[in-house]
A and B are shown apart, each in its own frame.
Chain A
């Protein structure tokens, strides 16, 4: 059975981009196939078994190439054997399947294979420049004159002898490090490096069938820092739904980084997946959707929360309380939802409420709000909260007890209003407050 190998060279990246860690690339590559091998700076993938899953040879090639480009890997080659793929990658040949393998390999120089290159001096004196020249030498002579590795490597490269590798195992936890090519002064500029780490994490999550719910980006300040700046800083990003969508994660991280100020220039990044849960991806349907669906609403809300700040995107949680201000707790969208069913408060309830009740002017014992108010219904007496105490700024406590008479009032310009009168001890004049609007 013919094999389908890819070789990725991690050390051939251009100088401006950060040096990528080959172990990290191997972990990323595990999303395509369980057969991933890594030796020195090279990562091999054997993808024969994964062809159908990714929709054939061409889509799989594009998939791997796109991911590799995001990781900053330029040297990538495909060939029927691993050593041939490595030789092609070194020489910049993309597709080793274009011609029969012997025709692809023969014109390559002897530097393209490590085992051959080890005897470069001797072979040069024999007049050998290409692999074809070496193959033309008598086999018996080669095995006597050189070590056995040369003949073995040549046979393996040409597919005459089998190859064996110890496969890379998927690590239990994810932590990846990236050394930045230069000092980075602003937090948003970290995104360039962080994106690569996120791509690696996406590969690891796919390989383990996990979705991430929290991940931490840690940056180390470089050695030329002020003393008070400390070792570095970190930022933890949480998501409501487990996800492995790299685009979503990088947008979330970008929004969070936009608000961070670096105390000193950063030189190194570390990304950790702190909380992961098993995640089953939705199956793709046979028939395409009529209209391409946008992002899931939860993801957008998370992104908006990341931009606007904490406690700005809220969902209500009803509480069994009779006091208007305490009937609802507005909590962040990620918060846990209680399972208990809350009984509805009887009687009318306004649809808008003022955070702090507005004191109303009174003329002729009649409250005013955009003109005189007509009292329609009432009083609805609300009394409670004697158990509820809150700390104030001075450290003392004050009671949150209320004793109020609520009325429905009609205003000519503002519609139906929910106003109340504070109940006070005898002989004190109670004032009127606006608390809600029946809009």
Chain B
């Protein structure tokens, strides 16, 4: 690389000043012909072109992800401290867009039952959801591999593989290279200590006040220090939370012990929801402050 740069500098010496001091000047990429400039990758930048991506729906996250979104043609490992924690909060903007385009959202071995009415409210319509209830690790791996090989274009594969070994993931990664949809593997936080062939590894933890802290453990390009903070309110709660409840940690901090709910707050007349009353009946809990 340095030899190539030297050659370029030598080939076009600045007019009038051919002295060796010109090597000391900071290198300006704008001097290069366009095709050469595109091919040069500097250590400080994130890989940009060359792969198709699906926008994550989070501007702050897209800016840091190589290519500007969740990668297609590669595995994405999503690590969480515990399963069923924040999958949909993180992925639903991207998945809703894929589902709107008619793509299948394929769930392989999720740790809990997916609740379709909740997902519909996030924009993932029920006809796009497929739940593959694979229990054993071998079944999950096999199903995931078959789906990745099938290349469900326009959709997404979400697989929960807590016990997968590196060589099994490598096999998936090889298949994923010819798959035009994002493949998300959910794994426990402890998996970050093991090596993984996935080109993108993301650790998500819960932050205060509905925030998600997203750590990019591995990506193509420079390492990112510190988390990306996303204010990811659970989609179905957005319409019912009061402004005060947007910052629940302030409420918690302002009181020495946890709030006691009051049975008085309940409506004395039992309401039957079978007749589908209009929404907006939720009241925020009364929090006693000493």
Contact = CB atoms under 8 A, between A and B. Distances in A.
A354 B81 CA distance: 19
Interface string A344-388: 111111111111000000001110000011111111111110000
A65 B153 CA distance: 35
B237 A408 contact: yes
A349 B117 contact: yes
Interface in B266-283: 266-267, 270-274, 276-283
Interface string B83-116: 0111111000000000000001010001111111
Nearest to B119: A351
Q: For the complex, would chain B's binding face be called helix, strand, loop or mixed by DSSP majority?
A: loop
A346 B112 contact: no
Interface in B54-91: 81-82, 84-89
A352 B142 contact: no
Contacts of A416: 234, 237
B27 interface: no
Contacts of B84: 352, 437, 439
Given A304-B143, A381-B267, A328 B279 contact: no
Interface residues of B, number: 79
Interface string A49-68: 00000000000000000000
A327 interface: yes
Contacts of A415: 85-86, 206, 234
Contact of B282 (A314, A348, A382): A348
Given A374-B248, A437-B112, A349 B270 contact: no
Nearest to A300: B150
Interface stretch (B4-12, B14-22, B194-202, B253-261): B253-261
Interface stretch (B43-51, B131-139, B164-172, B218-226): B131-139
B231 interface: no
A297 B112 contact: no
B152 interface: yes
A313 B239 CA distance: 33
B285 A377 contact: yes
Contact of B206 (A307, A330, A350, A413): A413
B90 to A, nearest CB: 9
A91 to B, nearest CB: 46
A297 B152 contact: yes
Contact of A318 (B85, B116, B273): B116
Contact of A382 (B112, B147, B273): B273
Interface string A294-318: 1111011101100110011111111
Contact of A376 (B130, B133, B180, B285): B285
B86 A439 contact: yes
Contacts of A380: 281-282
A322 interface: yes
Interface string A264-305: 000000000000000000000000000101111101110110
A377 B282 contact: yes
Contact of B236 (A293, A348, A372): A348
A347 B149 contact: no
A125 interface: no
Closest 4 CB pairs of A and B: A346-B279, A316-B116, A438-B234, A349-B118
13 contacts: A293-B153, A299-B150, A304-B143, A313-B132, A316-B131, A328-B116, A348-B237, A351-B115, A374-B252, A413-B206, A415-B85, A437-B112, A439-B87
